C-alpha cells in the first residue's frame, strides 16, 4: 500500500464521530490552556495528559494531537497580545507581533499567525505522512549502536549545543540521567537508587517531573518576582481581517517559514526552535520593507509562526518513526504513548498502522478545526488573557496537582511533585535549562538499553560503537556539537547561541 492509501485509511479512523469529538475537545482545551500566559506547549500537554487517561489509546492520542496543535496556536496569541518573551518558540513572534498590536494592527497579526500556522501545519503534516515511511525503512536497518549514537546526538543538541552555558546544559541533562536511574533496571531486574521505598521501584513519572518543573517551578519563580503590576495586554482594535497587501506580504513568508521549519524539526536532534530565528532573519533580508522590521513588520510574524508550527509537526517525525523525542513537548508525548504500553518507533507502524495513521490524519483535521476556532473566536481567547495573576496561577497549580493525583493518588507522589517543583525553581534562578532534565529522564533509560544491547552483541568490545559508519558519523557530529559551541563561547561569541536557547520546549 502507498502512503496515500494509509493516509486515507487514517482519515476513516479519524473521521469517526467519536474521534472527531475527541479532536474538537483536544483543540479547544489546547488553545484555551495554551493562551494562558506563562504556559507553553510542553506544559499544556503535560497538564492535559490526565484528561485522556480513561480513554482508549486511539481516542486519547487523537485528543492529544489536538492539544499539541492547539497549544501551539494558543501560544502565538499570547505572544502577540502580551509581550511575554521567555518562551523560546514565540520570542520572535512577540518581537514583531507585539509591535503590530501596539500600533492597532493586532487583528491582522493574529490572522497572519493563525493562517500561517494553518498553512504550515497542513504542509508539514503531509510532509510527515510522506517522509515517515522512508524513515521507518531506514530505521529498520538501525541496530542498537546506531540508535545509541542517535540518542547521544540528541542529548548534546538538546542540552549544550544551544543556550548560554555548556556547563549548565550538561548539568541539567545529567540531573535528568540521575533521576532516570531510579527504579528497576530493565535488563537485570535489580532495584537501583530506590532505597527500599516501594514507590520508587517504578521510577519517576515523566509527567510528574514535567508538571513539577514547568508548572510549579515557573509559578514559584513568577511569584518570587513580587508584584510588578499588571501586564499590559494590547486590545485587538479594528478589523481582524488582513488587507490585500497583508496577504501579498504574508503568503511567501508562510511558505518559506514552512520550508525552513519542517526539516529542522524533522532532524533527529534537538533545537527545533532555531527555525523561527532563521525564518526571521530570512524574511528581514528578503523583505521589500526592511525598515519596518522592529516596528511591526507582518512578514516577521508570518514567517516565524509558520516555521514554529512546521517544526512542531517536524518533531513528530523522529518521535513517531524512531521513538526519539527531541523537545520537552515530544518527551511528554512519548510518556503519553507509554502509558498505553505503546513504544513509538518503526515497529509501531507495522503493528499498529491504524493508530499511527489515524493520529496523523487527525492532525490534519485538528489543523482545520483550529483555523475555524481561532479566526472568529479570537476575542474569546483574548478574554482568557485578562485573568488576574492570583487566580491564574492558583488555577494552574490546581490542575497541576490534579494530574498527579489522578495518575497516582499518593502522598509520596505529591511530595515528589513538591520537591521537583522546588528544584525547578532553583534551576530557574540560576539559569539552568529545564528541557534537558525531562528529555534525559525519558531518553536516558532507552539509551542505556541500546548501549548495553550493543555491547552484549559485541561481547563487551567498546570499539564496536565506532566501527559502524552510521554510528561513527553520528557520534562525530555529536562531538562537534559539543565542542564547537564551547570554543565559540570561550571566544566571547556565545550571544548568538544563547539567543537560540531552548527554554520551554
Quick one: which of 405, 470, 472, 477 contacts another protein (CB under 8 A)? Answer: 405
As a whole number of angstroms, the distance between CA 76 and CA 90 comes to: 6
Comparing CA positions, the residue from 47, 48, 156, 35 lying closest to residue 87 is: 35
Cell digits of residue 164: 548560554
Q: Which stretch binds another protein (CB under 8 A): 3-11, 37-45, 203-211, 458-466?
A: 458-466
Burial string for 474-485 (b: 16+ CB within 10 Å, else e) reads bbebbeebbeeb
At closest approach, how far in Å is the CB of 274 from another protein? 22
- Interface residue with another protein, options 386, 431, 466, 495 (CB under 8 A): 431
Choosing from 8, 12, 18, 167, the residue that interacts with another protein (CB under 8 A) is 167
Residue closer to another protein (CB basis): 193 or 488: 193
Residue 492 CB, shortest distance to another protein, in Å, is 12
Q: Least CB distance from residue 168 to another protein, whole Å? A: 9
- The answer to the question of residue 418 lying near another protein (CB under 8 A) is yes
Question: Among 11, 15, 126, 193, which residue interacts with another protein (rule: CB under 8 A)?
Answer: 193
Task: Determine the Cα–Cα distance for residues 141 and 146; give it in Å rounded to an integer.
Answer: 9
Q: Does 406 bind another protein (CB under 8 A)?
A: yes
**24 belongs to the binding site for another protein (CB under 8 A):** no
Please identify, among the stretches 60-68, 243-251, 456-464, 468-476, the one whose residues bind another protein according to the rule CB under 8 A. Answer: 456-464
Question: What's the grid cell of residue 376?
Answer: 472568529
**CB neighbourhood size of 1 (10 A):** 9
Determine, following the binding rule CB under 8 A, whether residue 426 of this chain makes contact with another protein: yes
Residue 452 in the binding site for another protein (CB under 8 A): yes
Mind giving me the DSSP string for 124-154? HHHHHHHHHHHHHHHHHT--HHHHHHHHHHH
Angle made by CA atoms 238, 240, 245, in degrees to the nearest 5: 95
Nearer to another protein (CB atom), residue 244 or residue 409: 409
x/- mask, another protein, residues 220-239, rule CB under 8 A, reads x--xxxxx------------
What is the spatial distance between Cα 394 and Cα 222, in angstroms, rounded to a whole number?
Answer: 12
Tell me the closest approach of the beta carbon of residue 444 to another protein, in angstroms: 8
Taking the least distance from each CB to another protein, the nearer of 176 and 304 is: 176
Q: Does 11 interact with another protein (rule: CB under 8 A)?
A: no
Is there a contact between 99 and 295 (Cβ–Cβ < 8 Å)? yes
3-state secondary structure of 192: strand
Residue placing its CB nearer to another protein in the complex, 3 or 339: 339
User: Cα dist. 318→134, 203, 266, 386 in Å?
Assistant: 12, 25, 6, 37
- Coil vs helix vs strand at 500: coil
Q: What angle do CA 356, 357, 362 make, to 5 degrees?
A: 105
Cβ atoms of residues 214 and 45 within 8 Å: no
| CA 35 from centroid of its chain's CA atoms | 15
Residue 319 beta carbon to another protein: minimum distance, rounded to whole angstroms: 24
Q: What are phi and psi of 192, to 5 degrees?
A: -120, 140
Minimum CB–partner distance for residue 149 and another protein (Å): 16
- Residues binding another protein (CB under 8 A): 50-51, 53-54, 164, 167, 170-171, 174-175, 177-178, 181, 185, 187-188, 190, 192-193, 195, 216, 219-220, 223-227, 389-391, 393-395, 397-399, 401-402, 405-406, 409, 411, 414-415, 417-418, 421-422, 425-426, 429-431, 448, 451-452, 455-456, 458-460
Amino acid at each position: 500500500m502507498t502512503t496515500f492509501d494509509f493516509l486515507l485509511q487514517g482519515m476513516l479512523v479519524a473521521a469517526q464521530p467519536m474521534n472527531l469529538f475527541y479532536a474538537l475537545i483536544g483543540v479547544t482545551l489546547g488553545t484555551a490552556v495554551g493562551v494562558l500566559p506563562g504556559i507553553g506547549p510542553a506544559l499544556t500537554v503535560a497538564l492535559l495528559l490526565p484528561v485522556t487517561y480513561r480513554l482508549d489509546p486511539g481516542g486519547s492520542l487523537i485528543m492529544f494531537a489536538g492539544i499539541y496543535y492547539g497549544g501551539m496556536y494558543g501560544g502565538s496569541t499570547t505572544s502577540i497580545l502580551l509581550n511575554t518573551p521567555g518562551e523560546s518558540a514565540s520570542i520572535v513572534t512577540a518581537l514583531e507581533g507585539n509591535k503590530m498590536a501596539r500600533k492597532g494592527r493586532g487583528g491582522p497579526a493574529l490572522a497572519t499567525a493563525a493562517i500561517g500556522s494553518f498553512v504550515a501545519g497542513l504542509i508539514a503534516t503531509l510532509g510527515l505522512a510522506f517522509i515517515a515511511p522512508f524513515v521507518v525503512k531506514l530505521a529498520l536497518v538501525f541496530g542498537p549502536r546506531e540508535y545509541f549514537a542517535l540518542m547521544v546526538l540528541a542529548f548534546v543538541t538538546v542540552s549544550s549545543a544551544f543556550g548560554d552555558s555548556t556547563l549548565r546544559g550538561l548539568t541539567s541533562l545529567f540531573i535528568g540521567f540521575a533521576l532516570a536511574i531510579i527504579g528497576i533496571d530493565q535488563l537485570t531486574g535489580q532495584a537501583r537508587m530506590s532505597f527500599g521505598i516501594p514507590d520508587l521501584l517504578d521510577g519517576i513519572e515523566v509527567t510528574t517531573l514535567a508538571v513539577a518543573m514547568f508548572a510549579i517551578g515557573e509559578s514559584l519563580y513568577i511569584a518570587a518576582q513580587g508584584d510588578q503590576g499588571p501586564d499590559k495586554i494590547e486590545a485587538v482594535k479594528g478589523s481582524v481581517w488582513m488587507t490585500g497587501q497583508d496577504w501579498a506580504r504574508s503568503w511567501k513568508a508562510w511558505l518559506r517559514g514552512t520550508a525552513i521549519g519542517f526539516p529542522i524539526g524533522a532532524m533527529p536532534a534537538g533545537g527545533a526552535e532555531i527555525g523561527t530565528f532563521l525564518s526571521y532573519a530570512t524574511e528581514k533580508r528578503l523583505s521589500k520593507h526592511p525598515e519596518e522590521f522592529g516596528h511591526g513588520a507582518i512578514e516577521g510574524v508570518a514567517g516565524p509562526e509558520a516555521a514554529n508550527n512546521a517544526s512542531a509537526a517536524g518533531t513528530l517525525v523522529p518521535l513517531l518513526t524512531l521513538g526519539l523525542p527531541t523537545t520537552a513537548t515530544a518527551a511528554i508525548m512519548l510518556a503519553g504513548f507509554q502509558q498505553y504500553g505503546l513504544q513509538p518507533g518503526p515497529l509501531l507502524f507495522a503493528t499498529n498502522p491504524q493508530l499511527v495513521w489515524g493520529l496523523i490524519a487527525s492532525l490534519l483535521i485538528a489543523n482545520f478545526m483550529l483555523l475555524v476556532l481561532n479566526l472568529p473566536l479570537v476575542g474569546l481567547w483574548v478574554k482568557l488573557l485578562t485573568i488576574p495573576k492570583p487566580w491564574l496561577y492558583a488555577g494552574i497549580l490546581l490542575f497541576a496537582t490534579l494530574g498527579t493525583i489522578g495518575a497516582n493518588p499518593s502522598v509520596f507522589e505529591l511530595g515528589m511533585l513538591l520537591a521537583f517543583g522546588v528544584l525547578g525553581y532553583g534551576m530557574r534562578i540560576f539559569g539552568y535549562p529545564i528541557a534537558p532534565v525531562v528529555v534525559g529522564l525519558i531518553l536516558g533509560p532507552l539509551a542505556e538499553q541500546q548501549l548495553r544491547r550493543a555491547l552484549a552483541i559485541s561481547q563487551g568490545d567498546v570499539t564496536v560503537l565506532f566501527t559502524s559508519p552510521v554510528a561513527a558519523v553520528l557520534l562525530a557530529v555529536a562531538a562537534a556539537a559539543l565542542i564547537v559551541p564551547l570554543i565559540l563561547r570561550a571566544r566571547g561569541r556565545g550571544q548568538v547561541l544563547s539567543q537560540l536557547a531552548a527554554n520551554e520546549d
